[in-house]
Amino acid sequence: MNFYIETYGCQMNVADSELVTSLLITAGHNVVNDIDQAELILFNTCSVRAHAEDRVLGRISNEKHRKKANPKIQIGVLGCMAQRMGKRLLDSKIGVDFVIGVDQYDRIPALLSAKDLQPHLLDFDSTQIYQDLMPVHQSKTCGFVTIMRGCNNYCSYCIVPHVRGRERSRPWQDVLNDVKKAGQDGLLDITLLGQNVNSYLDNEVDFPELLKRLETVDNIARMRFITSHPKDLSDSLIDVMASSKRICEHIHLPMQSGNNRILKEMNRKYTIEHYQSLIHKLRHAVPNVAITTDIIAGYPSETDTEFEDTISAMKDIGFDYAFCFKYSSREGTDAAMRTDQIPEAIRLKRLQKMIDLQREITLAKFRAQIGKEVEVYIESMSKKNKDQVSGKTRDFKIAVLKGSESEIGSLKKATVIGATAGTLICQ
């Protein structure tokens, strides 16, 4: 059967879609990039904010007409929304045939060959790590390798631990094999994935040790990891980052808020002073390290003054980039139960202020690169100019430069000659 898979949300979902692709191909199915060719349409979904869910619901509903034209077409929902909403998705009349939870993907082939589609398979499996499955990489340049699944942190706003279950680390040898395979496939840039990679543990192998063991794999030029939790970022990780030639000069370290009371309410388990000290250590040990972050505006009970602490922290630290969100209430989380929710209009105003500020900071950071020599990993043709190629620097900045399709997959030295708040222009 021809299948098509559409992925929403974080890189973990991208990696999970690659797993599902591998499973279905092994079972004799055929992946297609054109939805018109598909008899099986899969949506791998995200629940982290209400907006993400609404978008996908609209999107699935839009595809309903296909089933009228061809009753053989099946639509399945995977991922966090499948896990969170389960049967409600089947009942929603948007044309969903089946719903599969995040720990049950290995049951999809059997489900498809069964005469009656079971309505939903959503149990958590606290041991599921999809052992011995080699993902089919969608990209020819950048590979994502899952090193752990689930999350134990229960940040009070976050749905992830509720939909992805408890934390499990994959055996380090399996991770090593996946990275080797990616290297053999010619992917030079590997991102290790986990909700909190700093708490990776497989017997005696912790995260810094895992990085050391991956350092020897042939072909890989760049290694990155997401996401780091500030409460678990250790000195030994910073040491490994400083001494490794492959680990890129970039870290994504979600701050979430610049105010200690709000951080406590969020159950983040660090103070802003601790966070600032990590930034200081990182910048000292890894010169020119790029630091990106996630920040939430309008967490329940956040006052104007507390929000201003976030603004001050953003100014003090000067992130290379910040993913700014307005707080979104997620049913089932502790924060959603609170009665002191911030009105939507205020959340929006605060969000806009963060976005405007970060835009200025990002632009200044990008402009400061002008005149420098950077290494660009060419990943695709530029969307805006057909004589240009687009790629990333080691410190995770998008860069464009003159080039042609044959250069995709190569590393190029270039000089930065201009910058916008999102792109380095190089030659």
- The residues that touch ligand 5AD, with contacts defined as CB under 6 A, are 48-49, 157-158, 254, 256, 294, 296, 325, 327-328, 330
Stretch that binds ligand SF4, among 152-160, 174-182, 342-350, 357-365 (CB under 6 A): 152-160
- Partner from ligand 5AD, ligand SF4, none binding residue 154, C-beta < 5-8 Å depending on class: ligand SF4
Contact 261, 306 (CB under 8 A): yes
For residue 251, list its beta bridge partners: 291
Instruction: Kindly state whether residue 191 participates in binding ligand SF4, applying the rule CB under 6 A.
Output: no
Q: How far is the CB of 189 from ligand 5AD (least distance, A)?
A: 21
- Apex CA 252: angle with CA 291 and CA 364, to 5°? 30
- Partner from ligand SF4, ligand 5AD, none binding residue 161, C-beta < 5-8 Å depending on class: ligand SF4
Whose tokens are 């089919």? That residue is 136
Instruction: Kindly state whether residue 146 participates in binding ligand SF4, applying the rule CB under 6 A.
Output: no
Burial label, 203 (beta-carbon count in 10 A; 0-12, 13-18, 19+): exposed
For residue 43, list its beta bridge partners: 6, 77
Using the rule CB under 6 A, which residue among 196, 259, 358, 369 binds ligand SF4? Answer: 196
Q: How far is the CB of 202 from ligand SF4 (least distance, A)?
A: 19
- Partner from ligand 5AD, ligand SF4, none binding residue 101, C-beta < 5-8 Å depending on class: none
- Partner from ligand SF4, ligand 5AD, none binding residue 296, C-beta < 5-8 Å depending on class: ligand 5AD
Q: How far is CA 261 from CA 159, 266, 269, 299, 323, in A?
A: 21, 9, 11, 11, 21
Tell me which residue of 268, 234, 256 sits closest to 307, measured CA to CA.
256
Can you tell me the distance from the alpha carbon of 35 to that of 23, in angstroms, rounded to the nearest whole number?
19
Q: Choose between 48 and 237: whose C-beta lies nearer to ligand 5AD.
A: 48
Q: Choose between 195 and 390: whose C-beta lies nearer to ligand SF4.
A: 195
Instruction: Kindly state whether residue 158 participates in binding ligand SF4, applying the rule CB under 6 A.
Output: yes
Using the rule CB under 6 A, which residue among 22, 104, 195, 393 binds ligand SF4? Answer: 195
Stretch that binds ligand SF4, among 117-125, 148-156, 197-205, 213-221 (CB under 6 A): 148-156
Q: How far is the CB of 334 from ligand SF4 (least distance, A)?
A: 11
Tell me which residue of 212, 222, 220, 219 sits closest to 243, measured CA to CA.
212
- Partner from ligand 5AD, ligand SF4, none binding residue 369, C-beta < 5-8 Å depending on class: none
Instruction: Kindly state whether residue 351 participates in binding ligand SF4, applying the rule CB under 6 A.
Output: no
Contact 133, 23 (CB under 8 A): yes
Q: How far is the CB of 22 from ligand SF4 (least distance, A)?
A: 25
CB-nearest residue to ligand 5AD: 294
Instruction: Kindly state whether residue 169 participates in binding ligand SF4, applying the rule CB under 6 A.
Output: no
Q: How far is the CB of 284 from ligand 5AD (least distance, A)?
A: 25
Tell me the residue type at 264. Answer: K
Q: Choose between 347 and 365: whose C-beta lies nearer to ligand SF4.
A: 347
Q: How far is the CB of 334 from ligand 5AD (least distance, A)?
A: 11
Alpha carbon dihedral 91, 93, 96, 100, in 10-degree steps, equals -20
Among positive and negative, which fits the CA dihedral 155, 156, 157, 162? Answer: positive
The helix-helix angle for 272-285 and 235-243 (nearest 10°) equals: 20
Looking at 261-333, which runs of residues are DSSP E strands?
A: 290-297, 321-326
Each residue 217-236 as x (binds ligand SF4 by CB under 6 A) or -, in order, gives: ------------x-------
Q: How large is the greatest C-alpha to C-alpha distance in the chain, in angstroms?
A: 64
Stretch that binds ligand SF4, among 82-90, 147-155, 352-360, 403-411 (CB under 6 A): 147-155
Can you tell me the distance from the alpha carbon of 254 to that of 247, in angstroms, rounded to the nearest whole number?
19
Looking at 231-372, which runs of residues are DSSP E strands?
A: 250-252, 290-297, 321-326
Instruction: Kindly state whether residue 154 participates in binding ligand SF4, applying the rule CB under 6 A.
Output: yes
Residues that bind ligand SF4 (CB under 6 A): 151, 153-155, 158, 160-161, 195-196, 229
